[in-house]
Chain A
Amino acid sequence: MVGKRIYLQAVMLAAATLILLVWFSGYFQSERSNLIDNQLQEFRQNINEGRLFATFSTTLGNDLDCETYEKLVVLTKQKASQLGRDVALLEQSDGIDQSFVKRFKKEYTIQLLESWLYHTQFQSRCENAPHSILYFYTNRSLDCVDCLAQGRVLDSFAENQSVVTYAVEANLGLDFIELLKEKYVVNNYPTLVVDANHILRTYQSESQINELIR
């Protein structure tokens, strides 16, 4: 005869399995979080170093030389590219609405924009500065069916030393992004700002971008 004990046994095993699965999920989530955190710290160090150089130049009147600027831009470009990809994966795994994902994304974007500002300074002072592309996109795919294609096109410039891309999620709710959107009149996506003054408001192919930066 099958008694009621079997129900209790099944409930306990089910609860234990669920706890185990939730624990595994939490474990992998915290691992992802740690990985991103470590990368962000390295990225932050680079930016802080740049800030130190900038403070040094304004305080002691020594202009940064072009070589230092270049070093800073190249270093942040490498870090930003990997970090950007991993943050995108984090969004896919844990969802864009998770608070810790939003926090990482905002922090990453702030660092990225600071790096873009250094790049802009670099361009104004040195002739050999690489081109910069500030790319406004949105994660809401329905608002921007071309963003994936545009992102991939810009990815293809990763190895190109004469271009640095700064991809900015436009709906992060950061005041500084709103300021930039106002300045460049960003109403639709993708929008690209090349070298801080040419604004392109539609999808641009690789050859179109090459044409522009030639």
Chain B
Amino acid sequence: MFDFLFLAAVLFFLFMAWFYISLFIRYHDQLHDDPPVKKFSRISFIVPAYNEESSIAQTIEAILALDWPAKPFDIIVVNDGSKDTTADRVKPFLKKGVRLLNQKNQGKATALNNGIKMAKYDFIATVDADSFAEKDALYHLMGYFDDEKVSCVTCSVVPNHPTNFLERVQNFEYLLSNYARKIHSILDALYLAPGPLTIFRARVLRNIKGFDPTTITEDMDIAVRLLSKHHKIANSMNAIARTNLPKTIRSFLIQRLRWARGGIELTPRYKNLLFNPAYGHFGLMVFPALFLVSYIFISIVLINQVIDSFSGIVSSLSLIIAISKIGLATFQFQMSPVVYYLSANLIIMAGMILLGLFLILNVLNIVRYRFGFKDVLPFVIFILFWGPVLNLVWFGGLYQVIARQEKRWR
């Protein structure tokens, strides 16, 4: 029975890999095409901020520096009860037209909703207070709004100067996510409106009553809610917003547990979309595959590996005992023909990794990533361990949901 499930899991991952490779082959020359801007609309920017004293000024400066003829922008910083000097850092920008709204700490979604109430223009851009849009971003994003069905446009999110090892590993995930977002937008199945920079049609945002303050992943919830109402979400790979990544394992885990929990809580909320052909590729494929099936199947592959590892751990213990008793020097390592080492498990895992690698390298090529020497080890770690790590985090999120732990936005 378990062997059958394992094979089903392998088949699922091969299917997913070939699905994205097929889309890649078909659309690789169009991924960087953005529609030209015909109308320069005015834009309101909402920057929710909680304890962002180290980055808020840079974020506002980046918005002010954006190339766009329809200036000045309407910039609203919503200080969500910060305990640091975030509000003080914003004050110098007030004379440049930036508005500051101070609220009690109520979470990001409420901060965004309060900002929406104040926004003056037909388009609202939400920007995280630790993210920095590149100067030409609006030229890449705004052209998509010529299509009246488009109610939201997202950008590529790039790590802001990743330096430490953890950031470098995450860097690859972000690069892949940018490609995935573009592909999902082609499928009309983009389920995320990233915090670093997303532009909404203000009318639509108000019609759906803004962000849901009861969720901890408001960026995912708003996107799925738009899809559930048959709105289109577009993406530009050329529009780039840089964001600060978690630098420590603790902050990384807190962030990922929040994402995992948000994703889990979102699934029952939108269960009517699951396997529903009325919602196109999102209902039939992306939502069930990425929110449900992939975690189940990754778990099966993990359990398979754990079973293997358990005997491996026991063998390792025996090995440690053996070494402690007879010393490493007396060990004789004799090679037998290589065919003895090529087990079915190894071949299947290697096949899956190679296929994934093929896709990832093509994506890195598409996003024009310059691979450096320092990237080698983070890349290997990413390829081999990132899936299992995220899956374990997913179980952590599941535990939080089942244990009904208090929701924390930070």
Q: Point out residues on A near B: beta carbons under 8 Å.
A: 2, 6-7, 9-11, 13-15, 17-18, 20-22, 24-26, 28-29, 31-32, 35, 85-86, 89-90, 92-94, 141-142, 144-149, 152-153, 155-156, 203, 205-206
Contacts and interface: CB of A to CB of B under 8 A. Distances in A.
B150 interface: no
B343 A206 contact: no
13 contacts: A6-B22, A10-B18, A21-B348, A25-B342, A28-B342, A86-B336, A89-B341, A93-B340, A93-B344, A145-B317, A152-B332, A205-B325, A206-B326
Contacts of B330: 152-153, 156, 206
Interface SS of chain A:
helix
B318 A32 contact: no
A137 to B, nearest CB: 11
Among all A-B residue pairs, the 8 with the closest Cβ atoms: A149-B322, A25-B344, A14-B14, A93-B343, A148-B318, A14-B15, A89-B340, A10-B19
A20 to B, nearest CB: 8
A13 B19 CA distance: 9
B101 interface: no
A90 B11 contact: no
Contacts of A85: 334, 336
Interface string B1-23: 00000010011001111110111
A31 B339 contact: yes
Contacts of A141: 311, 314-315, 317-318
Contacts, number: 121
B264 interface: no
Contacts of A11: 15
A24 to B, nearest CB: 5
Nearest to A141: B314
Interface of B: 7, 10-11, 14-19, 21-23, 26, 186-187, 281, 285, 311, 314-315, 317-319, 321-322, 325-326, 330-332, 334, 336-337, 339-344, 347-348, 351, 355
A15 B10 CA distance: 10
A94 B343 contact: yes
B326 A2 contact: no
A122 to B, nearest CB: 27
B343 A18 contact: no
Contacts of A146: 318, 321-322, 325
Contact of B344 (A7, A29, A142, A206): A29
Nearest to B314: A141
Contacts of B311: 141
Contact of B11 (A18, A20, A35, A149): A18
A206 B329 CA distance: 13
Nearest to A11: B15
Contacts of A14: 11, 14-15, 17-18
A153 B325 CA distance: 10
A13 B318 contact: no
B232 to A, nearest CB: 13
B321 to A, nearest CB: 5
Given A6-B23, A85-B334, A141-B314, A203 B340 contact: no
A153 B317 CA distance: 17
Given A14-B15, A28-B347, 12 more contacts: A6-B26, A14-B11, A14-B14, A17-B355, A25-B347, A85-B334, A89-B340, A141-B317, A141-B318, A152-B331, A153-B326, A205-B326
Given A35-B337, A94-B343, A203 B355 contact: no
Contacts of B16: 10
Contacts of A203: 325
Nearest to B17: A14
A21 B347 contact: yes
